[in-house]
Each structure stands twice: as C-alpha cells, then as structure tokens.
Chain A
Amino acid sequence: MRRAAVAIVKLTSCSGCINEFLYTIASYPELLRSVSIVHATEFQDLNTLEDIDVALVEGSVVTQHQEELVKEVRSRARTLIAIGTCATFGGIQAGRVGEDLRKVILASYPNPDFISALPDVKSLDRVVKVDFNLSGCPVNGDALARLLVKVILGGSEVPIAESVCSECKRVGVLCVMVSRGVPCLGPVTLGGCGAICPRFGRGCYGCYGLNTTVVDGERLARFSEVLEKVGMGRGDLEAFLKYFSFSALTKIRVRE
C-alpha cells in the first residue's frame, strides 16, 4: 500500500498538539509504516508541501503569511484536519482581540514597529474549508491517532458532539457543581478530554471549546446565571469563552 503523505503545519500556537502527534507515533509506531511525514519542521530537516494526503494543522491564523500558507496547504491537501483549540476556535491568543492593536503591542514590546500582527485571530474554518475539527487544549493524542487511521483507510465521519457532562457520567464522577458548588463549564463544553478536571476534583474551564451543537445564546445566558450563583462572574466566564471558544462566540453571544 502506498504510504499516505502527512504534513504537520504549525501556525500560532504552543506546539502542544504537535507533541500530541509525536505521542501518537510513539504509541502507534506502526503508523510510521503507513504514513510518510512529508512536512514537520519540528522533527525533520527535509520538508515539502507538494502533494499531501492529510494535513494536520495546529494553531490559529494571526498573520498575512499564515493566511497564505494555510490556503496553499489546503490547495495541496486531500484532507485537512484542524487539531487543537487554537485551530478550531482561535485559541488563548484570541484573548487580545478587540483591544487596540498598537496598545497591545506597545505594552508588550519596547519597539512596536518591529512587530507585525493582524487585529483578528482566526480559526482555520474562517480561512479555508476544514474537513475535520478536533479541538482540545491540547488535542487528545489517542483521538488523533484513531481519526488519522480512519481518514487514511477512507472511513466515513461519525458526527458525535458530547459535552463533558457525558464523560463524567460515564466514569462515575460526582458532579462537582451539584455536589460541592464548584463552578464548572462542563455542561457547555465539548467532551473528549475524559473529564479530567472533575476527576481531579475541580471544575472544567472549557478548554475543548463550546459545544455549539447543544448550546445556543439562550441556554448559555441561563447557564451563566447558574454559574454566577456558585461564584463565577459573567466577566470571568466571558474571558474563558474568549480564550477557548472565540470563533463560536460570533454565532453565540451571552445575552446582555
């Protein structure tokens, strides 16, 4: 069988999801026999973006150059998978969107003229067509391995979008919000993490992004009232949503 050409592309991010891919190939080394990594600057010297079967893209688009790069990758890739919360929702760097860009840069760098950045932070689907969105901060490496194998073998999409609550129920974790009054974003957040925060006795802070298949503006507004009663103010909720669900917020707004 011809090896599938896989390209790993990094935009604005921390490389955490790419390292999950590294974990993926460390735990499933046989994958290296069915894929050929044609582009991954973190692991190899020779890199090309010629003819790609599967492009895994980490990070969000914040510069003109990245916008062009991701369009080029799209035009050469049969399948494009956005990996991680930055690629699927914009990521934590979206926290500065809406602020005066020059002020942001000036507060950070002594000489702002050396720094170029766009005012917006874009998830991939705002720039190109994305075949699969696999969110998570970081993305779950096991899920990535399974999706990769499925895509290589030509499997079809199974549209499941659960919230973290489902995972708590499955592993038998007592609801931290109901039983102990700990603020938890689990009800509105995409699952896939295995409910790790509630399992460690703390509330979810939403790092897999808003589950927009079940949450709309109305429900989010009502949920924010519940959170307020257990001690998480509206401003703090909005900050977390901006960090981990930014691109979803253009569709869903917390009702004023």
Chain B
Amino acid sequence: MRMLQGLLTRVEGEGEVVLRTENGKMVGVEVRISEAPRFFEYIVRGRRYVDVPDLVSRICGLCGVSYVVTACRAFENCFEIEVPEYEEELRMAVLGAERVKSHVIHVAYLNLPDLIGLGSIGELFESYTHLFQSASKIVLWARKAMEILGGRFHNVVNIRIGGVYSFPSSEKVRALSRDLNEILNDFEGLARFVLGLRSISEEVHKLRYMATACSGSYCWASNKLVLDDGTYFGVESFENYVLTEQVSYSNALRYRLVTGEPYLVGPIARYNNYMKYLREEVRELLEEFGWNRELRGVYQSVVARIAETYNTLLELRDFLSSYRERTVSSPPKVSRVRGPCVAVTEAPRGILYHRYLLDDNLRVRSSNIITPTAQNLACMEYLIEGKLYGSALDSKAVEVAKSLIRCFDPCISCSVHVSRVEIPAGTTRT
C-alpha cells in the first residue's frame, strides 16, 4: 500500500491529508489533524465561572467571539440570567463583525485563489490588486468595529456573563457607521466578482446537516437545533444526537449522527434552512446571479458566505445607525446553579457547543466543547472518498482533496481544543 500526502495549506492550523492507494487506486483517506493538543478542559477546571469566557476565547484566533458568546450563554442559561436587550444587541453586533472578518478572510484570501487558479495571497495582491484592496478594506473595517464595540480584534474584552462591560461612545460608533457605506460598496464589488465566477462547481453532495433553530429569522443563536429532516431538539439533548469517535491519526475528536452518518454544519446548513429570511437586497443580488436556490455541495459554500456577510453588514448598518450610548446593567448576582450549563451558537464555521458542570463553589468541575470543524471532519473524508475512490492517484488528486477541505474553512486549532467525552463503548475506530 502506498500513501500520497499533502500538507494542508490556506487553512488555519496544522493538518494533512493522506490518500491511501492500492495498486495505484485510491482506497481510503485520512484527514490528519496534527496540531498539538492544548487540553483546554484541564485549563478551565477549577476556575471561577466568570473567568471562563476569557479563557475559552483563546481556543480560536479566528472566531474567539463565538467562544466568548457561547460560554456566556451557557452560564446565562443555567443561572437563568436575562441579558438586557441593548446589551444583547451589542454582543450580537460584535459576533456579526467577527463573522464578516472570518468570512471575508476565507472567501478572498483562502478560497478565491482556488477559484481563479492562484496559489497565494501574494499572487492575489499582484494580479487582482483592486479585489485584494476591497477585501482588505472590509477586513480592516471589521477590525475597527470589533475594536470599538469589543475592545480588540481577537480575544475581545467587552462581553461578560449577563451582558457587556460598557457601551462605546456614540461618537466612535457614528464614525464606524459612516465608513460602513463605503465598505458596502467594496463588498458589493467583491460579491459580484465571486458570485459571477463560472468556476464554482455544481458538484452535488448528498449530506445530512445540522443548524441552530429559529423561527422566522436567519439563525445565529438559539437553544434549539434542527436536522435536515426537520428533527428538532433542545440544546440540552445535543449530545444524545451525536456519536463521538477518536481515530489514531488525528488529534481532533470527530462526530457523527447516532445513525453513523457524517453531518455538515456551517454556511450551507444555515443557508439551506434560512435563505428565505435573508434581506431583500441580499436575495436580489443572489437572484441576479442565479444563486437564489438551495446550495448543492460544499464547493458552493462560498455563495453562502457571501450572502451571510452581506446580510450581516446590512444588519450592522441598522444597528450602528440607531445606536445610542447607554448605562450598563449591574453584573448579575448568582448563588445556585441548576443542572449543566449548556449553549450552542453559530460560529462562522457552524454550530459551537459548550457544556460546563460547576461545583458548589461555582467553579468548573468539567466541560465539553464541540467545535464546528470537529463535526465536519467525518464529512470531509466522506466527500473525498466519494470523489476519488477507485480512481488512479497522482499529486493532482491531493490538490483536489485539499481544495475540497478548504471549502469547509476548517479551523484546526479549534478542533484540537479537546474536552472530556463520555463515549459509548464500541464507537472508537482505529
């Protein structure tokens, strides 16, 4: 047996794809997550619950806000804390700015080179300077937004359990709001370029998928989840719907539905559930390019990222233009916790699940964090195998596998965060 390997590039973190061959034909694939484990479960153990959001933010340099928000919501759920409306809006705006940053970095810097036949961000700068500059302007605006609303670009400091630490000044927010009009123009240019690309593959991928569940809106945070077949369930029973597995070649745990099927989380799952709730301007733009339809495969996730970014920018425009500086609520007083502290939020890459158990002193006894990329790993292998099984392999095949993986926008550092799992006997594959 022979193996063809390729280091994963233009993705966050350290991973590798390995194609196994027999008699020159592809017989199997391993998506190896070689990123060294960081054992966050140990790190948060014994800590005060109030310190947890700032600690878990460190799991991811791309979507730290999603971790902060999910941890806060988990404790707000188990302490039955109500977040004041305006503070919640501010938190969701920070989460939105992070989404814009994450999606635009992926679409323009990491994914776009595949669609126009380039190999790096430097080549993009040389050949498509204007496009590169538009993308950079959007990312820089998102950075500014995160700085003003959240304190900084990564590991934001303004979000706490029960709300926010402070409301930024109206003056700063007004400046941000003014700049957004120009950014929307830049974004439209980028969006039109991407949506008009003929190189977005129509390859059909039949996949199960899961997203958070909301009624009547595009869903970013909820205590309910929904599967593609319409099955609804509460976040407290999430772990009953998935199987955990560990494989010898990867430092990330992986997840499947209890039926053993891989499932997809992220832009496609959300888009196919909620596209009808996108704003009219977004739907019109999609329609202009013939994209106002269910997305068929992960190659098309770039379309969902564009749609979600546009929608988020428009929502941010409304939030910023009607913003008023307010007085923050006092930090909640809690004494007793009822049951586990659980929440799920849509990170840019899909559903992010946190569960914490606290002891009598309200310190963390144990935790479980399930990341979107870890949930998508089984899908990646399933699709690569479906595409390449039995075919003759050369280095081109490795590139095909790599570009397929890139469409998931994997966040490898997150996926090895690792937490304690209660894993039923017999599900560990070796």
Chain A residues within CB distance 8 Å of chain B: 10-20, 22-23, 25-27, 29, 32, 36-37, 41-47, 62-63, 66, 91-93, 95-96, 99, 104-105, 107-111, 114-115, 117, 137-138, 141, 193, 196-197, 199-202, 205, 207, 236, 239, 243
Q: Which of B6-61 contact A (CB under 8 A)?
A: 7-14, 35-39, 41-43, 46-48, 51, 54-55, 58-61
In the complex where A14-B413, A16-B154 touch, is A108 in contact with B39 (Cβ < 8 A)? yes
| A138 and B140 contacting across the interface, CB-CB below 8 Å | no
Q: Which of B122-166 contact A (CB under 8 A)?
A: 122, 125, 132-133, 136, 139-140, 143, 151-155, 157-158, 160, 165-166
| B10 and A12 contacting across the interface, CB-CB below 8 Å | no
| A32 and B122 contacting across the interface, CB-CB below 8 Å | yes
**Distance, CA A107 to CA B39, complexed state (A):** 9
| A44 and B158 contacting across the interface, CB-CB below 8 Å | no
Determine the chain A residues whose CB is within 8 A of the CB of B43 once the complex forms: 92-93, 95-96, 243
| B120 and A44 contacting across the interface, CB-CB below 8 Å | yes
Q: How far in angstroms is the closest Cβ of chain B from A100? A: 10
| A16 and B418 contacting across the interface, CB-CB below 8 Å | no
From B10, B58, B253, B414, A137 is in contact (CB under 8 Å) with B58
Asked if B119 CB lies within 8 Å of chain A CBs, one says yes
| B59 and A14 contacting across the interface, CB-CB below 8 Å | yes
In the complex where A32-B122, A110-B423, A197-B157 touch, is A92 in contact with B12 (Cβ < 8 A)? no
Determine the chain B residues whose CB is within 8 A of the CB of A63 once the complex forms: 36
Asked if B175 CB lies within 8 Å of chain A CBs, one says no
Determine the chain B residues whose CB is within 8 A of the CB of A37 once the complex forms: 120-122
Q: Which of B91-113 contact A (CB under 8 A)?
A: 105, 109-110
| A196 and B157 contacting across the interface, CB-CB below 8 Å | yes
Determine the chain B residues whose CB is within 8 A of the CB of A107 once the complex forms: 41-42, 420
Closest residue of A by beta carbon distance from B51: A236
| A117 and B157 contacting across the interface, CB-CB below 8 Å | no
| A23 and B125 contacting across the interface, CB-CB below 8 Å | no
Determine the chain A residues whose CB is within 8 A of the CB of B430 once the complex forms: 111
In the complex where A15-B13, A26-B140 touch, is A44 in contact with B38 (Cβ < 8 A)? no
In the complex where A15-B413, A44-B10, A45-B119 touch, is A92 in contact with B55 (Cβ < 8 A)? yes
| A43 and B39 contacting across the interface, CB-CB below 8 Å | no
In the complex where A44-B121, A92-B58, A137-B58 touch, is A200 in contact with B165 (Cβ < 8 A)? yes
Closest residue of B by beta carbon distance from A58: B61
**Distance, CA A196 to CA B414, complexed state (A):** 25
Q: How far in angstroms is the closest Cβ of chain B from A57? A: 14
Closest residue of A by beta carbon distance from B139: A26
**Distance, CA A199 to CA B421, complexed state (A):** 39
Q: How far in angstroms is the closest Cβ of chain B from A121? A: 9
Q: How far in angstroms is the closest Cβ of chain B from A144? A: 12
Determine the chain B residues whose CB is within 8 A of the CB of A239 once the complex forms: 46-47, 51
| B165 and A202 contacting across the interface, CB-CB below 8 Å | yes
**Distance, CA A37 to CA B146, complexed state (A):** 27
Determine the chain A residues whose CB is within 8 A of the CB of B328 once the complex forms: 201
Q: Which of B242-266 contact A (CB under 8 A)?
A: 244, 246-251, 253
| B61 and A93 contacting across the interface, CB-CB below 8 Å | no
* Contact sample, A vs B, 16 pairs, CB 8 Å cutoff: A14-B154, A15-B62, A16-B60, A16-B154, A36-B122, A46-B120, A47-B9, A62-B36, A92-B38, A93-B43, A95-B39, A96-B39, A110-B246, A114-B251, A115-B37, A200-B151
In the complex where A23-B139, A23-B153 touch, is A13 in contact with B413 (Cβ < 8 A)? yes
Q: Which of B401-430 contact A (CB under 8 A)?
A: 413-414, 418-421, 423, 428, 430
Determine the chain A residues whose CB is within 8 A of the CB of B121 once the complex forms: 25, 37, 43-44
| B154 and A19 contacting across the interface, CB-CB below 8 Å | yes
Chain B 300-318 interface mask (CB, 8 Å, partner A; 1/0): 0000000000000000000
**Distance, CA A7 to CA B10, complexed state (A):** 15
Closest residue of A by beta carbon distance from B402: A45
| A104 and B10 contacting across the interface, CB-CB below 8 Å | no
| A18 and B61 contacting across the interface, CB-CB below 8 Å | yes
From A13, A23, A29, A117, B133 is in contact (CB under 8 Å) with A29
Closest residue of A by beta carbon distance from B413: A14
Asked if B267 CB lies within 8 Å of chain A CBs, one says no
| B60 and A14 contacting across the interface, CB-CB below 8 Å | yes
| B152 and A23 contacting across the interface, CB-CB below 8 Å | no
Closest residue of A by beta carbon distance from B328: A201
20 extra interface residue pairs, beta carbon distance < 8 Å, beyond A41-B14, A243-B43: A12-B35, A14-B154, A16-B62, A17-B61, A19-B105, A26-B136, A29-B133, A42-B11, A42-B110, A93-B43, A96-B43, A107-B420, A108-B418, A109-B37, A114-B248, A141-B153, A196-B152, A202-B160, A236-B47, A236-B51
| B154 and A41 contacting across the interface, CB-CB below 8 Å | no
**Distance, CA A91 to CA B160, complexed state (A):** 22
**Distance, CA A138 to CA B152, complexed state (A):** 9
Determine the chain B residues whose CB is within 8 A of the CB of A138 once the complex forms: 61, 152-155
Determine the chain B residues whose CB is within 8 A of the CB of A115 once the complex forms: 37, 251
Asked if B348 CB lies within 8 Å of chain A CBs, one says no
From A42, A46, A193, B12 is in contact (CB under 8 Å) with A42
In the complex where A108-B418, A117-B37, A193-B152 touch, is A22 in contact with B10 (Cβ < 8 A)? no
Q: Which of B176-202 contact A (CB under 8 A)?
A: none
